[in-house]
Amino acid sequence: MTEQSVIFFDIDGTLLNHDKKLPQTAKEAVFQLKDAGHVVAIATGRAPFMFEDLRKELDIDTYVSYNGQFVVLNGEVLDTNPLKIPSLVELSETALENNHPVVFMDHEDMKANVPEHSYIKESIATLKIDRFPEHDPYYYKERELYQTLLFCTEGEEKQYEQEFHDFDFVRWHPVSVDVLPKGGSKAQGIQKIIAQLGFPAERQYAFGDGLNDIEMLTAVKNSIAMGNAEETVKKAAKFVTKSVEEDGIYHGLQMVGLL
């Protein structure tokens, strides 16, 4: 019998293709891994409510969401790392002055600090999810928030990076940036799960394609970048598989000997 391993999959551009569809070969690969006794987990920048259907389809109840800020093991919350609210309020006020809206996000929902904005519509639409942030400028009150979206064009986030040292800023769309707790990453969330499961480094695997996957691909010993990833992401990984459109998950798992 093959030794049990744990495999973490990013979602967008990794499990899901450009049209946000799950290739049949990727689905089959996940269930082959599970049938072989491996632990299959998700590591994503998405909120938990943004990939509930995918978790159900793949029967996955262990995941790192919000780029490591909300971690669940076997359906139970294992670790959280919320944003610092006073700094977030300051950021929101500065962003409003610059006509840069923000969307506050907890594990259940997301709310915008403006009634509507073209940048919000443009970027959220690419996720192809069945909800859109409603207006609630005070959603940060009396709750923990794990990520915020800042909407600005490329380069405009530099101002916020220089001013707000409690946060990291990771671009995921031409007009949107993830705002995370300083030092937070998928890699940190993964380590919380690994600490509980006890897998040695040689039996840890991770697949990703985005800039927010670099820390994960660097930290996990057997890391695989998708063929559709940017060059900087590929350089962070140990292996490079085919693109998501070319059955990259299945091919990558075969390449590392898990299938």
What pLDDT was estimated at residue 170?
A: 87
Mean pLDDT of 96-106: 97
Residue ranges per structural domain of the chain? 6-80+184-255, 85-181
pLDDT over 90 percentage in the chain: 94
CATH of the domain spanning 6-80+184-255, picked from 3.40.50.2300, 3.40.50.1000, 3.50.50.60, 2.40.30.10: 3.40.50.1000
pLDDT at residue 1, rounded to an integer: 43
Task: Could you please state the CATH topology (level 3) that the domain comprising 85-181 is classified under.
Answer: 3.30.1240
Mean pLDDT of 199-214: 95
The pLDDT tens digits of the residues spanning 122-139 come to 999 998 888 899 999 999
pLDDT tops 70 at residue 14: yes
Longest CA–CA span in the chain (Å) reads: 60
Q: Which residues of 22-34 are buried (b: 16+ CB within 10 A; e: fewer)?
A: bbeebbebbeebe
Strand pairing category for 102-105 and 110-112: antiparallel
150: helix, coil or strand? strand
Token pair listed for 42? 């998700």
Residue type, 23: P
- Spot the catalytic one: 10, 168, 178, 209: 10
**Average pLDDT over all residues of the chain:** 96
**Is 166 labeled as catalytic in the residue annotation?**
no
Please give the full DSSP string across 66-114, using - where no structure is assigned. GGGTEEEETTEEEEE----HHHHHHHHHHHHHTT--EEEE-SS-EEESS
Task: Give me the helix-helix angle, 24-35 and 248-255, nearest 10°.
Answer: 40
User: What is the pLDDT confidence band of residue 2, given thresholds at 50, 70 and 90?
Assistant: low
Q: What is the pLDDT of residue 130?
A: 86
Query: What mean pLDDT comes out for the span 34-45?
Result: 97
Q: What does the alpha-carbon distance between residue 111 and residue 134 come to, in Å, rounded to a whole number?
A: 5
